[in-house]
């Protein structure tokens, strides 16, 4: 995904998310319909090809109504990125919260890698958004913030299980693991499935070795 080409000029050169969260049920349902339609179009054509007019038409709303909620196409993409990142954080939180002993952490994290990989393979829109993080400043900032949040959860889990560990060292390790994991997933989903599977398996072996070292 090269860059966003919104139908109207962006203000300030930075992408923004949902303009305002509606309070009325009918309006919230309209926003959800708009996002669902955007997902359909992105899955079919890719985000670059989607136009605001197409989203409005498929959602059954006027273009003016669409702009009431989203100032441009980039705002739709950012909103979707934030939602998918929230899904990923919830997944990580759920998996790590159940770990009660440091020896169980490598196995739990291995399962988390498999879940994360399957999630991105199953959702073409997530892959499309993720592939654009390096070419859009707003998405790159969101991606980095999400990476730090996920790393903090891994750091907190390790410190909960190993309270005597050097927190600064654990924080660096957790941040690198999460960052390298996201880079591996981004690369894997861009390749043929067999090669992608091998790369994810190799990353898993590397990470599990490090987590097992922490567990000793």
Nearest to 153, CA basis, from 59, 214, 89: 89
pLDDT band, very low/low/confident/very high, at 21 (cuts 50, 70, 90): low
> pLDDT at position 194, please?
97
> pLDDT at position 141, please?
87
Please state which CATH number belongs to domain 81-215. Answer: 1.10.357
Taking phi over 0 as left and psi of -120 to 50 as alpha, with beta for the rest, 99 belongs to beta
pLDDT band, very low/low/confident/very high, at 134 (cuts 50, 70, 90): low
Q: How far apart are CA 180 and CA 183, in angstroms?
A: 5
Distances 47 to 3, 7, 77, 95 between C-alpha atoms, Å:
9, 13, 8, 31
Instruction: Return the percentage of the chain with pLDDT > 70, whole number.
Output: 88
Q: How far apart are CA 22 and CA 25, in angstroms?
A: 8
Report pLDDT digits (tens) over 150-185: 999 999 999 999 999 999 999 999 999 999 998 899
Q: What is the mean pLDDT of residues 28-41?
A: 93
Q: What is the mean pLDDT of residues 127-137?
A: 73
> pLDDT at position 122, please?
84
Least-confidence region, from 4-8, 110-114, 184-188: 4-8
Distances 114 to 17, 30, 109, 159 between C-alpha atoms, Å:
30, 34, 9, 23
Alpha helices in 46-104 (DSSP H): 52-59, 63-69, 73-97
Alpha helices in 98-166 (DSSP H): 105-122, 124-131, 137-161
- Helix-strand-coil split of the chain, %, nearest 5: 75, 0, 25
Report pLDDT digits (tens) over 54-96: 999 999 999 999 999 999 988 998 899 888 889 889 999 999 9
pLDDT band, very low/low/confident/very high, at 139 (cuts 50, 70, 90): confident
pLDDT band, very low/low/confident/very high, at 17 (cuts 50, 70, 90): low
> pLDDT at position 216, please?
72
72: Cβ contacts below 8 Å, ≥ 6 apart: 4, 6, 7, 8, 9, 10, 15, 52
> pLDDT at position 14, please?
45
């Amino acid at each position: 995904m090269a860059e966003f080409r919104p139908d109207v000029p962006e203000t300030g050169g930075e992408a923004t998310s949902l303009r305002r969260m509606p309070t009325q049920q009918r309006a919230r349902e309209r926003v959800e319909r708009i996002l669902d339609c955007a997902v359909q179009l992105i899955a079919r054509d890719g985000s670059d090809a989607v136009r605001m007019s197409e989203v409005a038409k498929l959602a059954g709303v006027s273009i003016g109504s669409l702009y009431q909620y989203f100032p441009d196409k980039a705002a739709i993409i950012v909103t979707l990125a934030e939602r998918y990142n929230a899904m990923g954080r919830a997944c990580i939180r759920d998996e790590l919260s159940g770990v009660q002993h440091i020896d169980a952490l490598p196995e739990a994290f291995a399962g988390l890698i498999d879940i994360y990989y399957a999630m991105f393979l199953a959702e073409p829109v997530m892959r499309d958004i993720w592939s654009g993080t390096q070419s859009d400043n707003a998405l790159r900032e969101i991606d980095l913030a999400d990476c730090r949040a996920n790393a903090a959860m891994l750091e907190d889990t390790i410190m909960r299980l190993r309270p005597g560990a050097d927190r600064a060292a654990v924080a660096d390790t957790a941040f690198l693991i999460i960052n390298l994991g996201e880079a591996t997933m981004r690369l894997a989903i861009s390749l043929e499935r067999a090669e992608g599977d091998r790369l994810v398996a190799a990353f898993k072996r590397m990470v599990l070795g490090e987590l097992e070292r922490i567990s000793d």
